[in-house]
Amino acid sequence: MAGDLLLGIDVGTTNIKALVFDASGACLSAASVATPTERPQPGWAEHDPQLLWQAVVGVIRRALAPIDDPRRVRGMAVASVGEAGVLVNALGEPVTSIIAWYDRRTAPYAQRWSAQDDVLETFRLTGMLPAPIYGIFKLQWLRDHEPEGYAAATTWLHVADYIAFRLCGARATDYSLASRSMLFDLRARCWSQALIDRAGLRGDLLPELVASGTRIGTVTAEAAAETGLAPGTVVGAGGHDHVCGALAADVRRVGDCLDSMGTAEAAFLPLDDVLLDERLFIANVSSWTHVTFGAHVARDRYYVMDGLFSSGAAVEWMRELAAPGAPLHEAAAEVESLAASAPPGSLGVLFLPRLTAGERGAFVGLTVSSGRAALARAVYEGLAFEWRHMLDNIEEMLGVRARTIRAIGGGTRLPVWLGIKAHVLGRPLRVLDMDESVALGAALLGGIAAGIYSSEDEAVSAVQVRERTVAPDEALHARYERIYREAFLRLAPALAPVHAALNELER
């Protein structure tokens, strides 16, 4: 059919988006809605599966509204946050809520695993160190606290899998989402029976594993009636949101690096292979932050990634402080203006950007001269220092250096923040004119599944993207280098016992 189109769906932490693209990656229409989230008690966050599905239905309908014929949409796929999922029964009905990826109720399970199990063996199999966010601990919590739902369930589906299931009826997950469960044998590309048994979980709950871009089904008549899609539209396996964004940005080869600047921010480097040995394990557990390894949505490739959970969240928090109640664009402009007006170094104020996922942040170095401008700039500088540390850690651990750093995501619309980051890194940033890279990556996978593209190379080559370079200033880099090395790197270790005491007092 002439004028073939593709649909990409991005179910994110903050928003759910649906975008229609043509085969060159040009966006023809888009719709977005806030991700429905409930917070039943402190530290908890969850999503009602039916409300999530209805939100997806709404954005699909709005995205399709300008399209003259929905049959032109030949293929689609879904990307989502990585660690959240839902248990469904034999009829496909959800039997539990979706525990949000950043929910902290599972912390005791991760602590118990670290204390009682062979963490080195877990790392050798999964490329991960235990952390509360992973699916293995959500499943353990559901087993213990919602036993009726757990007993009635037949399948565990990640968020993207669940939306794809509602569209086409397939119960499948791709390797990149499976990588976020801590139940996936990364190099063998299969579920690990050893970890399933050690966790005391039911292996029959885990869905079929497929490569991203695999055709898993077509839109059912029921889903077509709800969404406005044409029955028979091809649904492909999507993947983890950061990793789909990496595909769209063509970050697939060793030497590439992706800075995905969303609600959470990732430092992401592709790998040809992973050697999950004891040396790498020791380097990882000894580091300030812990990296994870996983399967790329690009076929037969891997990645190493570290995440800054509260990147975009810290900027949003600063916006609310700087311009409470103001529209988003006005608040963003206010923070940019404030940060630009403060001198580099923020008058000696340092910001530790750890505000979510059970962590604690801090402003350090405050004086009576520390006004709103210094605090706004300190937030940007702290985020840049933290991301620099993540990248330095990955490069030192693996003995590689990124040749290029591509930046995508909502943060790329903030030039003051980008400039500070380039100065802190001392390296140029290649900023892609690709605001919705995650949805585009999902759409490309849908296009591969539908046969619009014969390969990933063809899909990525078809995308026409403009980019600009944000270059560092050598003098500013030298100044930031001293602040980073002499002050910032000491900040988190110095505050760790204080934050531990605060956490204990709060409990």
Q: For the chain, how far is it from start to end, CA to CA, in angstroms? A: 61
Q: What is the mean pLDDT of residues 343-367?
A: 90
Sign of CA dihedral 34, 39, 44, 48: negative
User: Using CA atoms, how far apart are residues 283 and 83, in angstroms rounded to an integer?
Assistant: 24
Is 296 a member of any domain? no
- Determine the angle formed by the axes of helices 119-126 and 278-285, rounding to 10 degrees: 110
The mean pLDDT of the chain is: 94
Q: pLDDT for 23-81, tens place per residue?
A: 999 999 999 999 999 999 988 999 999 999 999 999 999 999 999 999 999 999 999 99
pLDDT tens for 296-309 read 999 999 999 998 87
Residues 370 and 479 both lie in one domain: yes
Structural contact between residues 302 and 347, judged by C-beta atoms closer than 8 angstroms: no
Out of 190, 225, 243, a domain closes at: 243
Query: By mean pLDDT, which of 164-173, 198-207, 316-325 is the weakest?
Result: 316-325
pLDDT of residue 357: 64
Pairing of strands 15-22, 5-11: antiparallel
End-of-domain residue from the set 222, 243, 264: 243
Question: Do 136 and 228 lie in a common domain?
Answer: yes
Under a CB-based contact definition with an 8 Å cutoff, are residues 324 and 401 in contact? no
User: In 3-state terms, what secondary structure has residue 297?
Assistant: coil
d(CA 2, CA 4): 6
Calpha distance 309→278 (Å, rounded): 27
- pLDDT value of position 108: 95
- Per-residue pLDDT tens for 418-470? 999 999 999 999 999 887 899 999 999 999 999 999 999 999 999 988 899 99
**pLDDT, position 499:** 87
162/154 Cα distance (integer angstroms): 13
Please provide the size of the chain in residues: 507
- Predicted confidence band of residue 292 (pLDDT cuts 50, 70, 90): very high
Same domain for 356 and 224: no
Residue finishing a domain among 243, 258, 285: 243
Cβ atoms of residues 437 and 248 within 8 Å: yes
Q: Is the pLDDT of residue 1 over 70?
A: no
Going by pLDDT thresholds of 50, 70 and 90, the confidence category of residue 244 is: very high
pLDDT digits (tens, 9 = 90+) for 357-366: 668 899 999 9
Residues 238 and 315 in one domain: no
pLDDT at 272: 93
List the CATH number of the domain containing 209: 3.30.420.40
| pLDDT of amino acid 2 | 53
- Share above pLDDT 90 across residues of the chain, in percent, rounded to a whole number: 80
- 467-492 confidence digits (pLDDT tens): 999 999 999 999 999 999 999 999 98
Task: Look at residue 209 and tell me if it is in a domain.
Answer: yes
Do 60 and 197 reside in the same domain of the chain? Answer: yes
Cβ–Cβ < 8 Å for 205, 153: yes
Residue type, 57: V
Judge if 199 and 343 occupy the same domain.
no
Sorted by sequence, the CB contacts under 8 Å of residue 350 that are 6+ apart come out as 363, 364, 365, 378, 381, 382, 483, 487, 488, 491
Token pair belonging to 93: 């009905």
What domain range includes position 330? 311-388+475-506
Each residue of 214-237: pLDDT tens digit? 999 999 999 999 999 999 999 999
> 149 in a domain, yes or no?
yes
- Positions of E strands within 265-395: 265-271, 292-295, 302-308, 350-352, 362-364
Residues 157 and 237 in one domain: yes
- Residues 213, 316, single domain; the answer is no
Query: Which residues touch 72 (CB under 8 Å, ≥6 apart)?
Result: 1, 3, 4, 5
Q: Are 263 and 17 in contact (CB under 8 A)?
A: no
Give the residue from 4, 8, 5 showing the smallest Cα distance to 436. 8
**Would residue 34 count as lying in a domain?**
yes
Q: Which residue has the higher pLDDT, 423 or 326?
A: 423
76 DSSP β-pair partners: 7, 235
Q: Are 349 and 487 part of one and the same domain? A: yes
For Cα atoms 403, 258, 359, give the angle at the middle one, nearest 5 degrees: 125
Domain count, the chain: 2
Asked whether residue 225 falls in the same domain as residue 319, the answer is no
Is 54 in the same domain as 198?
yes
Strands (E) across 396-461 are located at 404-408, 429-432
C-alpha to C-alpha distance for 313 and 365, rounded to whole angstroms: 22
- Give a yes or no: residue 23 inside a domain: yes
Mind listing the pLDDT tens digit for each residue in 182-217?
999 999 999 999 999 999 999 999 999 999 999 999
> Is residue 442 included in any domain, yes or no?
no
Q: Is residue 456 part of a domain?
A: no
Q: Tokens 């002050």 identify what position? A: 487
Tokens of 157: 């589906």
Give residue 400's pLDDT.
87
Q: Examine the domain organization and report whether 88 and 215 are in the same domain.
A: yes
263 has a pLDDT exceeding 90: no
- What tokens does 375 get? 């605090």
